[in-house]
Amino acid sequence: MHFAVVVLLVEFGGLRPLVANPCGWLVAVGESFAGHHRLTFADNGVPIGRSARRFLVISAAGFAVNELAYAALIARGALGYRLGLGAVLVGVAALTYWASRSWAFMRTDR
| Inside any domain, residue 110 | no
pLDDT of residue 4: 95
| Inside any domain, residue 11 | no
Q: pLDDT of 36-65, one tens digit each?
A: 999 999 888 889 999 999 999 999 999 999
Above 60 in pLDDT, residue 109? no
| Inside any domain, residue 56 | yes
Q: How far is residue 62 from each of residues 89, 90, 109, measured CA to CA in Å?
A: 9, 11, 27
| Inside any domain, residue 51 | yes
| Inside any domain, residue 12 | no
Residue 5 banded pLDDT, cuts 50, 70, 90: very high
| Inside any domain, residue 4 | no
| Inside any domain, residue 9 | no
The range of the structural domain enclosing residue 74 comes to 25-104
Q: How far is residue 23 from each of residues 10, 20, 105, measured CA to CA in Å?
A: 11, 5, 25
Residue-averaged pLDDT of the chain: 93
| Inside any domain, residue 93 | yes
- Domain count within the chain: 1
